[in-house]
Structure 1
């Protein structure tokens, strides 16, 4: 069953009832990381192992994402500032209990020439969903670290 979520804006990344924030420094430049996030949507499964498929939708204004395990999302891009910020909200999903979800990827040049990548997972939902999400923090952190490490390797090999 598909659920329509609340259409939150970019500010939700700072005000959501549940905010999970993870950061990691990688060697790739902000320009290359931004390209992988915002412009090579179909390439996400190559570096983010939780993603089974990703494709642009709505002439690039949105995305359709399918995770391993069957969860599906349709998303609207909220911000795409080259080399700095990529953010989107989930409009519909088949995941139960979720009411709103915004994900924000902030990029900043690192002193060593690489990029500091910060991912904010901002969500709201029924009390059981919020509780499970808080318990899932360590797993989401591992998933993020593995994804940006794989992305860095992928960009170095390209």
Structure 2
């Protein structure tokens, strides 16, 4: 059953009890990377293997996302500033333990390519926080694989 999460704003990315930050440089320039993140929401299933469904909601102000294993999210877009930042807050989820969650993608020119930085900012009870910290390597691998697949997709 979906639960409502605490509504937080984009500043939560800097103040969250758990902040997992991952970065990687890719060959694609910032503009197409931003387009893939913020404008081609349905395309996430093509490059982020954990995502089985992604679709815009509320005329593009939100997203519905489903992951392998059955986790579901209803999200609100907090920032869509082309080509440098995209952030969203999870409003509802069936994931246990989480009380607040914001994800932020920052894009910075890096030579002819882009430095992609993903911040996963969350709050929950102490056990949730500990489990999330233990999940850091897996989330990092998922980020690395997704951004690498996105770069390959954009090169085509």
TM-score (norm 2): 0.99
Q: Larger deviation: 73-82 or 123-132?
A: 123-132
Note the 1:2-151 alignment, pairs <5 A: 2-111=2-111, 113-151=112-150
Runs of 4+ in 1 over 2 A off after TM superposition: none
Offset at 1:2?
A: 1.0
Please report how far the alpha carbon of residue 127 of structure 1 lies from its aligned counterpart in structure 2 after TM superposition. 1.3
CA deviation vs aligned residue, 1:14-41 (integer Å, no higher than 9, x gap)? 1000000000000001000000000000
Q: Say which SS state the counterpart of residue 42 (structure 2) adopts.
A: helix
TM-score between both structures, scaled by the size of structure 1: 0.98
The number of aligned residues is 156
| Cα drift, residue 96 of structure 1 | 1.0
**Cα RMSD between the aligned structures?**
0.4
